[in-house]
Amino acid sequence: MVRKKITLIGSSPESWEDATQVAIEEAMETLHDIEWIEVVEQTAHVGDSGVDLYHTEIEVAFTVKRQA
């Protein structure tokens, strides 16, 4: 079995958890057989009134399947 990992960055104005979920949902739209994710980094953009955008970088691991 072979697995591949890709890096995605999700963003949300609500929280790092929401930013993670955004990235996972996008991955699920195009990838099959996702096995795990790893949170690599969490950052935030700070505006005049505080944090206004959360970013979560994740690595997504999925099984590579050969086409017949």
**pLDDT, one tens digit for every residue, the chain (68 residues):** 889 999 999 999 999 999 999 999 999 999 989 999 999 999 999 999 999 999 999 999 999 987 77
Q: Which CATH superfamily is domain 3-63 in?
A: Flavin-binding protein dodecin (3.30.1660.10)
Domain boundaries in the chain?
A: 3-63
If one counts every other C-beta atom within 10 angstroms of the C-beta of residue 16, the result is 17
- Residue 56's pLDDT is what? 98
Based on DSSP, count helices (H) and strands (E) in the chain, helices before strands.
1, 3
* Token representation of residue 28: 């699920």
- Residue 7's pLDDT is what? 97
If one counts every other C-beta atom within 10 angstroms of the C-beta of residue 18, the result is 15
